[in-house]
Amino acid sequence: MSDHRQGPVRSEAARVAVLDATSRLFAVKGYDHFTMEGVAAEAGVSKQTIYRWWSSKGELIAESLLEGRLFPDQFVPLETGDIHRDLSSWLHRIFALAEEPQGEFLVRSLIAAAAENADVGRRLNEQLGATDSLTERLQKAVDANQLRADAPLQEIGEALVGAVIMRALSRTPTDGPVIERLVSVVLGFSSASQPVR
Amino acid sequence: MSDHRQGPVRSEAARVAVLDATSRLFAVKGYDHFTMEGVAAEAGVSKQTIYRWWSSKGELIAESLLEGRLFPDQFVPLETGDIHRDLSSWLHRIFALAEEPQGEFLVRSLIAAAAENADVGRRLNEQLGATDSLTERLQKAVDANQLRADAPLQEIGEALVGAVIMRALSRTPTDGPVIERLVSVVLGFSSASQPVR
Amino acid sequence: MSDHRQGPVRSEAARVAVLDATSRLFAVKGYDHFTMEGVAAEAGVSKQTIYRWWSSKGELIAESLLEGRLFPDQFVPLETGDIHRDLSSWLHRIFALAEEPQGEFLVRSLIAAAAENADVGRRLNEQLGATDSLTERLQKAVDANQLRADAPLQEIGEALVGAVIMRALSRTPTDGPVIERLVSVVLGFSSASQPVR
Amino acid sequence: MSDHRQGPVRSEAARVAVLDATSRLFAVKGYDHFTMEGVAAEAGVSKQTIYRWWSSKGELIAESLLEGRLFPDQFVPLETGDIHRDLSSWLHRIFALAEEPQGEFLVRSLIAAAAENADVGRRLNEQLGATDSLTERLQKAVDANQLRADAPLQEIGEALVGAVIMRALSRTPTDGPVIERLVSVVLGFSSASQPVR
DNA sequence: TTTTAACCGAGACGGTACGTCTTGTCTTATA
DNA sequence: TATAAGACAAGACGTACCGTCTCGGTTAAAA
């Protein structure tokens, strides 16, 4: 008695070819001119092979995203000891991606993909570090007494990444001073006229 | 001498029928199952009439958005004198839209539309009040000495609306306490452990 | 009491412009790429003006044909006294039209128009002379005792013009000897091995 | 080594359904109200399947014609030994088709199709027997000394079929005596008053 | 060694939607 | 009231992809 499957095993070559084609075409075409037929042709693979392993274009993009094929970095914040500086440099790196012409296109394509597909949304969230690595960095700032113990770390990250997305969607260019102000806002250095309450 | 054009004038009935059909179908179908053929059929209008006046589905959606046909309110913040309370209630209203099942769908559809089409992005930005009415309310808070004179009002709005979008994209539900924390973050009441610098 | 009609009278300029445009476009486009909109634009006339006076493109073409705007000649047979020679030269003229590249196209377009529209069919028949002028010429041959008194003149004409059409439809080129043989066939000089009956 | 192609083979069911729909619709609609969309719907086939195999409506009609789906018979002349009787009966059969109301419509539709499309023209020529079977029958008449050895057989056929087409185009009804006269004309029994030359 | 289940490429299939084109009618303002 | 301009509803055009399915060929574990 056995539950071993028979037959050949999944072709790694096909899998890699599909993901390669996905990242190449997603960068060039964006989300909605990205087609399954295009991927099949570009990868030299049959459509059935794609649909056997990925049920939709969202899933394909989500997996490419997870494997870091859609943009290079992990966007892990630095740890110089200065939380303001570290958040600024982290945000600079993200905006740098979003500002270069093909990067802006990529970011909007990712947003479109996330809007259509829940997995892409979650993966994008993770990939931008808005969950783990950023929260860890903020926790260290709390430990170093640079942030209040009850600072809402999760919401700080969301507000920052959210601002990036807002600016991408409204096609508003972003420069250094804007980034500084954003970091100041969420770190609370510059808004309240007095520490009320 | 005359520069009057000849011929029939644009049919207001057709224009209204198209925009009505657009808002109805956009709410039901979302961005990418929203089709020009569907709009034409629903509006009882020929496709050519649509393409004569709107060059793409993005333009159609942008105009519906601008006319307030896609969601009801203008999302103008209240003015009770308490900026924290007013921002909270404003954000509650936005999240209330985003949290009801068809509202979440609408928000994601709008994000998808904004990602594909620059006009939709800009209009969405305006419509959510992230530009004018919100900034005006914040300015009043500055005048009332509730915010520092150099508080970056624009960035505060972007961070808040951005957070809404982040949560919509990552399918994270939002409750009252989260909203309170978000407002606290951007108003600077709760993050910095001491007013450094 | 008066029976004078009121208002402006039919514009002869518009009528001529339409028929001019018709012949020009029919020659260039052929029957089924010939469009009412094209005629209106080419003539500098509104579509309504065309539809007011001609109910269909067939009627338009029929009238152009009748006015001799689609091909120049009337194709009236000569009268040298030699019926064989006269029919040959008449057929040569018709084939000359049908053989030059744009002429072949014109002939096929006319056939298409005739197939769709009864008026065009009748007018084309008349214009090619298959009814009146050819029959007259044949009658003179009867009078001159070159043809039998009971020769079916109508059918002779039809057979000749029909052969032209057959060759146009099957894209078979035609040369001098073929024409000679056609004339011989219908004049009965070369078929019957003996004058039976 | 193998030259077998991979993948599914062309569906004979789809091919037959398309050609069936073609003949049915062509008979009902005629050439220019015959639409590819109509064929696809009638055949229960997608438009793409039609365009995959036939590049135009002309090609579709030509193939239907070739397969004998547009009119039943091959129009092969009989061989009773009497060439005049055989041609008459052959022409009677053709005119019988062209005279019944839907037949006249069919003939004109075929002429329109032939005028637009070279293949249809050639196929129609073949199908009416004007090339092979008729010429063979005439050759037998030559062998039987009923026609002169140098009778232009090809031209005789063209003149006869051409006359059918002329009458269809000019909407002239045809009766038995007309057919007799046509046959007499091309067989040379009744035209020349004397066997000149 | 044979069988057999699952893989693979190729690509045909029924569909939906695209954006364009043409038809014939209707509307407006001018002459 | 005839006209030019042109908006309109209707619907066909040919193209691009969708997701499913079928075909032959290949591979590797199970029998």
pLDDT grade for C76, boundaries at 50, 70 and 90: confident
Residues B168, A186: Cα–Cα separation, whole Å:
20
pLDDT at A39: 98
pLDDT at D130: 64
Residues B26, B24: Cα–Cα separation, whole Å:
6
What φ, ψ does residue D172 adopt, rounded to 5°?
-100, 120
Model pLDDT for residues C139-180, shown as the tens digit of each residue: 999 999 999 888 888 888 888 888 888 888 988 888 889 999
pLDDT at C196: 43
Answer yes or no: do C158 and D181 touch at CB < 8 A: no
In this prediction the pTM is 0.88
pLDDT at C12: 86
CA of D6 vs C1' of F24, distance in Å? 6
- Shortest distance, CA C179 to any CA of chain D (angstroms): 9
Q: What 8-state DSSP symbol labels residue A131?
A: T
Length of chain D: 197
User: Residue A188 in contact with residue B190, Cβ under 8 Å?
Assistant: yes
CA of A181 vs C1' of F12, distance in Å? 58
- Give the residue carrying structure tokens 């004038």: B9
Q: What 8-state DSSP symbol labels residue D71?
A: S
Largest CA distance in chain A: 75
The partner residue sitting opposite B186, judged by closest CB among A111, A159, A165, is A159
Give residue numbers, 140 to 169 of D, with CB < 7 Å from strand E: none
Answer yes or no: do A190 and B111 touch at CB < 8 A: no
pLDDT grade for C4, boundaries at 50, 70 and 90: very low
3-state secondary structure of A147: strand
pLDDT at D195: 46
Residues A145, A140: Cα–Cα separation, whole Å:
9
Residues B71, B106: Cα–Cα separation, whole Å:
9
Give per-residue burial for B165-174: e unless 16+ CB within 10 Å, then b: bbbbbbeeeb
Whether residue D97 is predicted with pLDDT greater than 90 in this model: the reply is no
Give residue numbers, 14 to 53 of B, with CB < 7 Å from strand E: 33, 35-38, 46-48, 51
Residues D178, B42: Cα–Cα separation, whole Å:
59
pLDDT at B129: 67
Residues B23, B3: Cα–Cα separation, whole Å:
36
- Token readout for C162 is 């029909």
- Give the residue carrying structure tokens 């007011």: C52
The partner residue sitting opposite A191, judged by closest CB among B32, B112, B187, is B187
Whether residue A161 is predicted with pLDDT greater than 80 in this model: the reply is yes
pLDDT grade for B197, boundaries at 50, 70 and 90: very low
Helices (H) and strands (E) in chain C, counts: 10, 0
pLDDT grade for C193, boundaries at 50, 70 and 90: low
Answer yes or no: do A158 and B155 touch at CB < 8 A: no
pLDDT at C189: 67
Residues A174, B31: Cα–Cα separation, whole Å:
27
Q: Which nucleotides of F are covered by protein (CB under 7 A)?
A: 1-31
Closest amino acid to nucleotide E12 (CA–C1'): D8
Residue type, A114: A
Which residue of chain D has the CA closest to C169?
D121
Mutation to test the A interface, candidates B155, B181, B183, B194, most A Cβ within 10 Å: B155
- Token readout for A29 is 């075409």
Model pLDDT for residues A43-55, shown as the tens digit of each residue: 999 999 999 999 9
Whether residue D193 is predicted with pLDDT greater than 60 in this model: the reply is no
Residues B22, A21: Cα–Cα separation, whole Å:
35
3-state secondary structure of C152: coil
Q: Which of C18, C8, C12 is nearest to C44 (CA)?
A: C18
pLDDT at D8: 84
Helical residues (DSSP H) of C128-152, grouped into ranges: 132-143
Q: Which of B113, B10, B137, B1 is nearest to B60 (CA)?
A: B113
| Lowest mean per-residue pLDDT among A22-36, B80-94, B132-146, D177-191 | D177-191
Mean pLDDT of chain B: 88
- Shortest distance, CA C5 to any CA of chain D (angstroms): 37
Model pLDDT for residues D135-156, shown as the tens digit of each residue: 899 999 999 999 988 889 888 8
Answer yes or no: do D118 and C171 touch at CB < 8 A: yes
Give the residue-averaged pLDDT of C56-80. Answer: 86
pLDDT at C140: 92
Residues D83, D89: Cα–Cα separation, whole Å:
10
Q: Which of B10, B57, B66 is nearest to B29 (CA)?
A: B57
User: Residue B62 in contact with residue B120, Cβ under 8 Å?
Assistant: yes
The partner residue sitting opposite A115, judged by closest CB among B111, B149, B167, is B111
What φ, ψ does residue B130 adopt, rounded to 5°?
-65, -10
Q: What 8-state DSSP symbol labels residue D9?
A: P
Whether residue B195 is predicted with pLDDT greater than 50 in this model: the reply is no
Residue type, C37: E
User: Residue B175 in contact with residue A180, Cβ under 8 Å?
Assistant: no
Neighbours of chain D (3+ CB pairs under 8 A): C
Residues C93, C99: Cα–Cα separation, whole Å:
10
User: Residue B87 in contact with residue B187, Cβ under 8 Å?
Assistant: yes
- Token readout for D69 is 């789906």
- Give the residue carrying structure tokens 């090339």: D131
Residues on chain A touching B188 (C-beta within 8 angstroms): 185, 187-192
Is the Cβ atom of D2 within 7 Å of strand E at any atom? Answer: no
Q: Output D102 or C82, whichever has higher pLDDT.
A: C82
| Helix A36-43, helix A12-29: angle, nearest 10 | 130
Model pLDDT for residues A74-121, shown as the tens digit of each residue: 788 999 999 999 999 999 988 888 777 778 889 899 999 999 999 999
Residue type, D20: D
pLDDT grade for A193, boundaries at 50, 70 and 90: low
Give the residue-averaged pLDDT of C76-88. Answer: 91
- Shortest distance, CA A127 to any CA of chain B (angstroms): 12
Answer yes or no: do A192 and B189 touch at CB < 8 A: yes
Answer yes or no: do B124 and A186 touch at CB < 8 A: no
Answer yes or no: do B193 and A161 touch at CB < 8 A: no
- Token readout for D5 is 């192609």
The partner residue sitting opposite B151, judged by closest CB among A147, A158, A190, is A190
* Minimum CA–C1' distance nucleotide for C33: E22
